[in-house]
Structure 1
Amino acid sequence: MTTRQHVLVLYLSTSALDSQVVGWSVYDGTGRTSPTTGDSDEPPYRSGVDALRDGWRLFQAAQLIPPYPGGEYDVSFLKHEFFFEKLVDTSAGA
């Protein structure tokens, strides 16, 4: 059996895994589709918990860093980033 990784990156509205998805990226390591997929305007899941229920494995969550004094309202990167993976069998006929 040969396995490859699908990676799903979800950006959530808060640090809670059950909060709303506000951004996402999907990466296909199998070579069956383009390396990045998911050109839809609709997120693949409503929350990180929904991704877990669909079989995605959480392997990294963003470190929670409080804002610097005076920087609470600065525009910056999306802070609540969660990485998920699925291992996909790429053997012939799978």
Structure 2
Amino acid sequence: MTTVRQQVLVLYLATSALDATVVGWSRYDGTGQTKPTTGDSDGPPYETGVAALQDGWRLLQMSPLLPPQPGHEYDVSFLKHEFLFEKLVSLPDTP
């Protein structure tokens, strides 16, 4: 029998397109095999969101596209192009 655990990957892309360059990320591993990583590590886990899909990650959510308010087009704020992915990993049960 196996146990299934979830891994979560949050990618922030340069634009709203899945093939845009990754500019920030966070990864969380429900299997307990790795510690959380953020954009401070060596480099992004994938170059684009499409690359994550090709590696088996399932896309769960995309940020809504919101136009800037007039007069605030150049304000610096949060990273707005967020994509949430998951992978389900099977682990063998230990006796």
TM over 0.5: yes
Check whether the contact 2:3–2:93 (CA below 8 A) recurs between aligned residues: no
Specify the alignment match of 1:59 in structure 2.
60
Check whether the contact 2:58–2:87 (CA below 8 A) recurs between aligned residues: yes
Describe how 1:1-94 pairs up with structure 2 within 5 A: 1-34=2-35, 36-37=36-37, 40-92=41-93
- Say what the alpha-carbon RMSD is for the aligned residues: 1.4
Give deviations 1:1-55, integer Å, cap 9, x for gaps.
2111100000000000000000000000112222x13552311101000000000
2:42 and 2:71 mapped to 1: Cα distance? 33
Gaps of 5+ in 2: none
1:29 and 1:37 mapped to 2: Cα distance? 13
2:90 and 2:65 mapped to 1: Cα distance? 34
1:88 and 1:44 mapped to 2: Cα distance? 17
Check whether the contact 1:28–1:37 (CA below 8 A) recurs between aligned residues: no
Gaps of 5+ in 1: none
Number of aligned residues: 92
TM-score, length-normalised on structure 2?
A: 0.90
Higher mean alpha-carbon deviation, 83-92 vs 10-19, is at 83-92
TM-score, length-normalised on structure 1?
A: 0.91
